[in-house]
Amino acid sequence: MEYFLQQLINGVTLGSIYGLIAIGYTMVYGIIGMINFAHGDIFMVGAFISLILIVTLGVTASMPLALLILALIAILIVSMALTSVWGWTVERIAYRPLRGSFRLAPLITAIGASIVLQNFVQISQGARNKPLQPLIPGGFTLSEGAGESGFIVQLSYSQILIIVVTTVLMIGFTTLINKTSLGRAQRSCEQDRKMASLLGINVDRTISLTFVMGASLASVAGLMFLIYYGVIDFYIGFLAGVKAFTAAVLGGIGSLPGAMLGGLLIGLIETFWSGYFSVEYKDVAAFSILAIVLIFMPEGLLGKPEVEKV
């Protein structure tokens, strides 16, 4: 039971990170109907930007708590801004010129953009992985190992931070989509781009903003990943990207609550799989879910069935 509880906590933490990345996939897919393969690498760039900021500002765990929190918030904001520029640039260079081109073209540029980002970071930041001293050590001990297994259940402060930040961002984000004029513009572009442009919505700008929002959420995920695992390299975007995409598909691509739900489920499945079956095959589990969901339930849990129009 203690073991189960610990896995549950870890799974929810991991799932929050996946959920944040998955939102970027699902929003882009909803609005222009393409898989933004480079999104996982945008997440990786966000993690690197956060890392560089943390090291430059000299943020360590030994700082006073108030200062540490302030510094982390500042880093979060700067990192979101800079990562958004990356997201915007990728859209502007690689996707916008191909709108209305044949269907494979944006997919191929997306893969190209992903390769460029990965190798750019590999060259500019080096291929070795970057270890970071734990920023937020410590945590609550929920169970002192009293049960027959003697297993200690811990909820670390960084896990609390990740879950809280994710929840706050997701609530804020849902409000943004549902209540503001930007959200309305976005939903209208999702439904019918041509009609939206006839009604005076700047479609290109809305699409750019979608990429910007996706990238900034991915950069939050990057910072959270960095705090949680304490080590990153240029290749983290690939696996995290595929898993987050799996989450988006599982939840129903195009649906925001679906992305969050899917992220949580994938995080839980992955942790329980590695906790109870095998660590080596945890990626296989995620990939198999992707294939199974796409084959048997392509509309996902909360998505609408797709109607093919001629």
Tokens in use for 155? Answer: 């909820």
Cβ 206 to other proteins shortest distance, Å? 19
Interface pick for other proteins out of 126, 138, 145, 147 (rule CB under 8 A): 126
Q: Which stretch binds other proteins (CB under 8 A): 9-17, 176-184, 187-195, 284-292?
A: 284-292
Q: How far out from the chain centre does Cα 190 lie?
A: 21
CB 88 within 8 A of CB 214: no
Residue among 71, 40, 22 nearest 262 (CA): 22
CB 42 within 8 A of CB 215: yes
Q: Which stretch binds other proteins (CB under 8 A): 62-70, 163-171, 269-277, 293-301?
A: 293-301
Q: Does 131 sit near other proteins (CB under 8 A)? A: yes
CB 57 within 8 A of CB 236: no
DSSP string, 66-93: HHHHHHHHHHHHHHHHHHHHHHHHHIII
Tokens in use for 244? Answer: 């987050």
User: Per-residue string for binding with other proteins, 242-281, x by CB under 8 A?
Assistant: x--x---x------------------------------xx
User: Residue 112 or 150: which CB sits closer to other proteins?
Assistant: 112
Q: Which residues bind other proteins (CB under 8 A)?
A: 34-35, 45, 48-49, 51-53, 55-56, 82, 85-86, 88-89, 93-94, 97-98, 100-105, 107-109, 111-126, 128, 130-133, 238, 242, 245, 249, 280-281, 283-284, 287-288, 290-291, 294-295, 298, 308, 310
